[in-house]
A = this chain, B = another copy of it.
Amino acid sequence: MEFTASQIATLAGGTVEGDANVKINTFAKIEEGHPGAISFLANPKYSEYIYTTGSSAVLVRRDFKPEKPVSATLIRVDDPYATLAHLLAQVSRMMNQPRRGVEPQAYVSDGVDLPEGVYVGAFAYISPGARIGKGVQIYPRVYIGDNVVIGDDTVLYPGVTVYNGCHIGKRCIVHAGAVIGADGFGFAPVGERYDKLPQIGIVEIGDDVEIGANTTIDRATMGATRIGNGVKLDNLIQIAHNCSVGANTVMASQSGVAGSTKIGEHCMIGGQVGFVGHISVGRDVQIGAQSGISHNIPDGMRVMGTPASDFGSYARRQAVIKRLPDLARQIDALLKDKQ
């Protein structure tokens, strides 16, 4: 798929400066530009890159005034970043028409009502009592358990499993292989053996949530494991039983949250972070990749490391850790002096 700068300007309601016929077939950050790519300049602190970028075209604000010659074609728009996002969305819609209709090889239990506009792919399985909202797209090989509720316009990609009784909100996207509502990991020791502690709760997922491929969210022992509105979970994440993740929190791949831990709203959590169970993390918390969170974190903190501490302490400690072999030699020398 390829566009000229002038086609993009037309789509975006912008004006072109430079070669209007230059061909665009990909996107690149302005500092990593290359021929065929379009970039955008929204943050003035990146302005210097516009003079050297290898990109063929750059989206800039209407009032942007270059201080030096620019070789890339400029496309002037009101909001360069929003324009880029819209362009991607338009191309995405052209490429991915929503699927509609029920393929005959789907298994739909008696009594399940399928509103107009839904898609149910071949080999999808919908159990008794499930309630499916308008415009829901259920790809092939999705499993929907008994009494599951799926809100309007949610998309379940191939191979998603939703266990009995779980609720998924509206406009959610659940990627392939995600498992919603498997049993929480609860056992009671009986001598050396363990008896299973039945897990009779559910998972409740809000609206506008995106869940990555092969991510797992366990059902609660009783009550619900809760994922708030607007939460974005990357691939291969583990959310254990009875956890809650607050609205608009974003968590990167391979992080894991142990049982009953509560994470606040609007947190940013890096990849491969681990949380022990039964703690509370406040709102607006930022956590660096690979951190280990073993105690409560107050609102607004930025933490890092295992065990995690605030960014400043972490950085100071790491600086000293780098010097450790030198420090050890100095101590040895001081001790020798003393003798």
Kindly report which residue of chain B lies nearest to residue A223, judged by CB atoms: B26
How many copies of this chain?
3
Interface size classification for chain A: 35 or more
Residues of chain B contacted by A112 (CB below 8 angstroms): none
- Is A216 a contact partner of B214 (Cβ separation < 8 A)? yes
Residues of chain B contacted by A265 (CB below 8 angstroms): 192
Kindly report which residue of chain B lies nearest to residue A319, judged by CB atoms: B325
Per-residue interface assignment for chain A, residues 165 to 179, with 1 indicating a CB less than 8 Å from any chain B CB and 0 otherwise: 100000001011101
Given the contacts A85-B188, A192-B248, A182 and B91 also touching, CB distance less than 8 Å: no
How many Å from the CB of A82 to the closest CB on chain B?
8
Residues of chain B contacted by A230 (CB below 8 angstroms): 192-194
- Is A253 a contact partner of B250 (Cβ separation < 8 A)? no
In angstroms, Cα B213 to Cα A95, docked, is 28
The verdict on A11 contacting chain B, using a C-beta distance below 8 Å, is no
Question: Looking at A96, A185, A208, A318, which has the most chain B CB atoms within 10 Å of its CB?
Answer: A185
Per-residue interface assignment for chain A, residues 242 to 275, with 1 indicating a CB less than 8 Å from any chain B CB and 0 otherwise: 0000011010111010101000011000011010
- Is B325 a contact partner of A182 (Cβ separation < 8 A)? no
Residues of chain B contacted by A179 (CB below 8 angstroms): 159, 175-177, 213-214, 235
- Is B200 a contact partner of A185 (Cβ separation < 8 A)? no
Question: 21 A-B pairs, CB-CB below 8 angstroms?
Answer: A1-B200, A27-B221, A29-B260, A88-B197, A88-B221, A88-B222, A95-B164, A95-B165, A123-B125, A125-B158, A141-B141, A143-B158, A161-B213, A177-B214, A187-B232, A213-B218, A238-B271, A290-B292, A309-B322, A327-B331, A331-B331
